[in-house]
Structure 1
């Protein structure tokens, strides 16, 4: 905390201090002597981008004693999740109305890494995609308003990045109302809805995004995650396959695809078994293993279906049981391959 001195009254002067950053929050205080009842809006800025925003309105007990209004001048603002990227960021605090930079900064934040609850289009990339979108002849009437749309995009992004999801959703819906169906805005709306815990609504938004531009892998990623959350594992994998095909060198997409495959497969098999469709479960696993022979999850599941549990407490029985499972799997796969070859020859 900083020591406080009595303010000098001025119609435009803003006084205050950017104290510190802790636990992802930026703390300080701000006050306008000429307007003692006004709760000032504060922005935390990194490289020109606002990464936190809110009012200096919380109470700090030492402020009134120093003649700083009624003491409700403290701010503690949530920083954007994009700052948790393992890099060091230099933060300043400023009063939004006048642009006055508060004393005490800049403060460094990081390096701290924290994975977001859900993968989202980074703000900088989103602004690039927005510029590309508005360059389309379809939006020629908005040529003079591109800066306004960029500002609206920044606002909606910052709200979403700092967890103000209801406000973010309203902002994305306002942008989409102006632009109509579009890939970027509906993808961001889908992200917001997913973060709110509404995967069915998110899925519809992602589908609109994908329908507007099939090349946007973020939309297919959103579809995949929404379908997975809804328990539609086959559809989730299909959407994830499209996303990885669009960005084949993205290691994170490959990782997510493997996760969906490995975690969704047992649930798909279990659902088929619950419906009494044991043969279909076996066919599913065989088909997958013919494409991915090293899929350990599929091997284990198929082995358990083809080889009944046996007494393994006796010496050597566990090894014998595993050998029998491997043999049954091999025989089943060879039979399946032979059947497919015969079908091809018959055609």
Structure 2
């Protein structure tokens, strides 16, 4: 149930000193998140806490992500990075398996497969990904929203094509979860870095698996936290793994997860529908303004706007207090709950002043 309006959250939780349009690189931390991290740091420094953090908070963060992802908490594993989650999936594949991915896909999504050396990698343009799935395809690995230019994949077409050929799917939601509706249950695996649109401290990431897909993953990173009864699994080999996706947990970075629990709760209070409408509305305003200035942004409906050839303007914009990023030669701007029409207009005015 939505209990906090977007404008209330923006006013209460954020006070950026710049025009911050760089959430695709790293999201701003809400005040409540900062407070939670500081509280844990102080407790650890003072020696008043038993252990470095609270596993109940980790489970609360797991449940918070599960709500945003549309799955049960038992389908969510907690970790520290997307590349480790993807590496686990890569380790599960038989030699010679074909892995299909978009051209220019983010490195963490494809490197664990490509560097194995005994898998068949095939890359095609994003818009042809669904049509490229064939009988030899074992896995389709792709991002819901492309990091370099904000393009949104045709999710329904890709999942339908994979199902028709018996291929599994791995979706990276790092550039989408937090503003774009996510149905994690529609994919065999999803991986999500929490430090972008989920507004979590870096060090929190989430892997979702279907019950069937979980059985395919090898227990390569097993530690005591993955045991069915963790506190009875601290010495000697883990005798029984958790029956849920928690069997794939990494030992948590508690500072990150104490903050993540608060950030995910904030997003749930606002609601993904409101976040989507706000972020894509600002992005559309920015695209329209760019066109009026004579620039051609990558088309589409996305919270991430890329302008080919303008990546070199990033340093000058930073000097003007406009924080964007340079990716693959694109000027990349990303919009989230703490942005406003005024932010869009300041960015456009700054670009206009730079000329050319």
- TM-score after normalising by structure 1: 0.23
- TM-score after normalising by structure 2: 0.23
**Bigger relative CO (Cα 8 Å, ≥ 6 apart):** 2
Give 1 or 2 for the bigger CA radius of gyration. 1
The structure richer in helix per residue is 1
